[in-house]
Amino acid sequence: MLKLASFIGVFLVLLTGFGIGCVSGAAQEQGNGSPSTSSSLSQIPKNGLIQTSSGGGVDINIEWRGLKDGSLVFGVVMDTHSGSIDQYDLRDLATLRDSRGNEYGPGSPDVPLGGHHRSGLLTFPVSGHSNPLTVQYFDLTLRGIAGVAERDFRWELN
């Protein structure tokens, strides 16, 4: 019984570790994900926390982190195994829209340079809008990354 418990513990540590560096095949399934322990989730989307896009040799995972301090917060992981992805400034490339037609521009992204692998936070100030979490969905669009015109990520709320 002790061996089984040790095996399960090691398996969970390894499984959790794949969500942080290189993207594993399981993490690339759209809608897969569980609440991040470091985030304050305001509402969990019906279609999962993590949305993914692969194209042009770049994999991008965006994780819904919820509403915090007047901004919608998203965790971003960008990975490639050829070249650098440091040239992509998410402040210029990201747009968030809700089901009511409101459009939000990003605040200062905190996605440090990293060559092949980048991760951090992307925030969208929404404090000027009445209760933004009552919308049906949010669409996050990233434009012009690795030859892909648009990458669309959607979180369904209501």
Residues 76-129: tens digit of each pLDDT:
999 998 888 889 988 899 999 999 999 999 997 788 778 888 889 999 998 776
**In DSSP terms, which residues pair with 155 in a beta bridge?**
138
The fold for domain 39-156 equals Immunoglobulin-like (2.60.40)
For 138, the token pair is 């949010």
Instruction: Tell me if 55 sits within 8 A of 120, measured CB to CB.
Output: no
* Whole-structure pTM value: 0.71
What are the boundaries of each domain within the chain? 39-156
Nearest Cα neighbor of 65 from 140, 150, 158, 143 is 140
Which of 111, 124, 141, 129 has the alpha carbon at shortest distance from 51?
A: 141
